[in-house]
Structure 1
Amino acid sequence: MIDLSYTVAAGVATITIVRPEVMNAFREQTMHELIEAFDRADADPQVGVVVLTGEGDRAFSTGGDVAWEDAFDPASGRHTARILIRLAEAIRGTGKPVIAKVRGWCVGGGNELVLLCDFALAAESARFAHTDSMLGNSPIWYGTQLLPKLVGTRRAKEILMLGDTVEAPEAARIGWINRAVPDAELDAVVAEWCERLLARSPQALRLTKISLDFDGDLTLPSVRHGFETLTHNYGTTEFHEGTTAFLERRAPKFRSESD
């Protein structure tokens, strides 16, 4: 694995996105490696809990690498959508508890990774945001489906459509994540949760997780249909204005001066 590290210790598999130079943004290779890592953890009888995190303190993940996404067209977007659906199944489909350990920025697809996990524990300095509306994109990879179930529809619309930053303590207050803890205590808190989960019945955890995820699993058609619509968006001027503006570090101009 090049974009990830994978370690197992004391019953816990830790999967770390190792792309700190781009704030742990992911590309196609990263997604394939994540699928492989979650499948590996799922098949290992010595693993009882999985922890997903990002390298360093700057970011858990800022989602899809915009430099990679900028080249998308409908065909490549459709190809990527199929991989993302397989990745979501690899995370949600394992009967083992998955904890997202969040430091720094958690943006866009990074947030959707968090939503796909069973638990989310964050450092108090962590910051969450969905900037898709500034990129001519849409968070239909379980962002629009799962976030409203946690924070309510109106708050989800505010987060997903306005793109405002949400600090970790507020994210915990509204139910987006489980806990926001002092930065220096995050590793210890995650270790404590792992220890507590490892002391529980694996079959009970598996059955409970599958049952609790039933309602969310019913949203898969929304994801599939959303991706089919979104892939056509990748061929538009508006989408590429969003990605180009991001790469050029300027505000996007989605409307002409006459609009």
Structure 2
Amino acid sequence: MKYTDILYEERDHVAYITINRPEKLNAFRPQTVDELIEAIKSSGWNRDIGVIVLTGVGNRAFCTGGDQSDHDGQYSGRGSVGLAIEELQGTIRDVPVPVVARVNGYAIGGGNVLATLCDLTIAAESAQFGQVGPKMGSVDPGFGTALLARCVGEKKAREIWYLCRRYTAQEACEMGLVNKVVPDAELDAEVEKWCREIVEKSPTAITLAKRSFNLDTENIRGISMLGMQAVSLYYDTEESREGVDAFMNKRKADFRSKR
């Protein structure tokens, strides 16, 4: 597959997958999601690869979720909402190697969900985390909510989704969403250090550990599939469309008048 929305590199048994849409703060469109799925699958099942690093181009954003300028209610690609999000999330969990989120800048919305889904998350001090779904007429009713609650606790997860605040990298680390925070200039070196330590370990033991961790939360996949179908119906409502229109026109959304 020829990539247009991502960059791909293999180095020292590590695959580096980088969202390359800096003009959109590395927000994803259907093409981006399809390319991520392909790259993660092909590298994750390559016996020479021991770790996958997922990140975004530049220092402004890791990923800011779905590209709001690329849809009108529904996206145009595969999946329940026109984005193959369920498949992307499942792919991150299904490949037998750890996926490490290298968070530079914003990890907002769907980007926050990606950071949650990755096996490990290493962030620069300038990184920011948070959800925007209820501000935008959207929600991730699966891994983005239920798995987040496993990571940070249910009370904190509800706060993140209900209030849509932003959190510093250090705050995210303290709540359990991030494994390590380092100065921006040290991010690459720290990620490489963690990757080196992982690839030195038994690949089979690492895979068995990942499978075991995933098994405990595998029921969330079913919740996600059902939830995404509900979100697809929600996206066709005036209430949801109000969030996108308000964002595009830089005004405050009036959701209650659209119910």
| 1:232 match | 233
**Within 2, Cα distance between the matches of 1:241 and 1:77?**
22
| 2:128 match | 127
Structure 1 counterpart of 2:47, from 32, 37, 45:
45
Letter in 2 for 1:18: N
Percent sequence identity is 41
Query: Contact 2:45–2:96 at 8 Å: present in 1 too?
Result: no
Query: Contact 2:51–2:98 at 8 Å: present in 1 too?
Result: yes
The alpha-carbon distance between structure 1 residues 88 and 76, as it changes in their structure 2 partners (threshold 3 A), is closer
| 1:96 match | 97
**Within 2, Cα distance between the matches of 1:175 and 1:104?**
18
**Aligned-pair distance for 1:161?**
1.2
**Aligned-pair distance for 1:123?**
0.3
Deviation by residue 1:12-71 (Cα, 9 ceiling, x = unmatched): 100000000000000100011001001110232221110000000000000000112334
**Aligned-pair distance for 1:256?**
3.6
Query: Contact 1:77–1:231 at 8 Å: present in 2 too?
Result: no
Query: Contact 2:81–2:229 at 8 Å: present in 1 too?
Result: no
| 2:154 match | 153
| 1:248 match | 249
**Within 2, Cα distance between the matches of 1:8 and 1:225?**
36
Letter in 2 for 1:129: G
Query: Contact 2:74–2:82 at 8 Å: present in 1 too?
Result: no
**Aligned-pair distance for 1:90?**
1.4
**Within 2, Cα distance between the matches of 1:75 and 1:211?**
32
Aligned pair count? 257
SS class of match (2:217): helix
Alignment of 1:154-233 (within 5 A): 154-233=155-234
Query: Contact 1:126–1:167 at 8 Å: present in 2 too?
Result: yes
**Within 2, Cα distance between the matches of 1:73 and 1:209?**
32
**Within 1, Cα distance between the matches of 2:165 and 2:63?**
17
Structure 2 gap segments, 5+ residues each: none
Deviation by residue 1:99-144 (Cα, 9 ceiling, x = unmatched): 0000111111111111111000000110011010111111224111
**Within 2, Cα distance between the matches of 1:73 and 1:202?**
38
| 1:114 match | 115
**Aligned-pair distance for 1:79?**
5.1
| 2:64 match | 62
Query: Contact 2:131–2:160 at 8 Å: present in 1 too?
Result: yes
Query: Contact 1:107–1:129 at 8 Å: present in 2 too?
Result: yes
Query: Contact 1:84–1:141 at 8 Å: present in 2 too?
Result: no
TM-score normalised by structure 2 residue count:
0.95
Letter in 2 for 1:27: R
**Within 2, Cα distance between the matches of 1:2 and 1:50?**
19
The alpha-carbon distance between structure 1 residues 74 and 154, as it changes in their structure 2 partners (threshold 3 A), is farther
| 1:105 match | 106
Deviation by residue 1:210-250 (Cα, 9 ceiling, x = unmatched): 00111221211110111111111011111111001111111
**Within 2, Cα distance between the matches of 1:202 and 1:76?**
33
**Within 1, Cα distance between the matches of 2:206 and 2:68?**
37
SS class of match (1:100): strand
Query: Contact 2:30–2:76 at 8 Å: present in 1 too?
Result: no
The alpha-carbon distance between structure 1 residues 74 and 67, as it changes in their structure 2 partners (threshold 3 A), is closer
Q: Does residue 1:17 correspond to 2:39, yes or no?
A: no
Structure 1 gap segments, 5+ residues each: none
SS class of match (1:80): coil
SS class of match (2:82): helix
SS class of match (1:5): strand
**Within 2, Cα distance between the matches of 1:46 and 1:93?**
17
| 1:8 match | 10
The RMSD of aligned alpha carbons is: 1.9
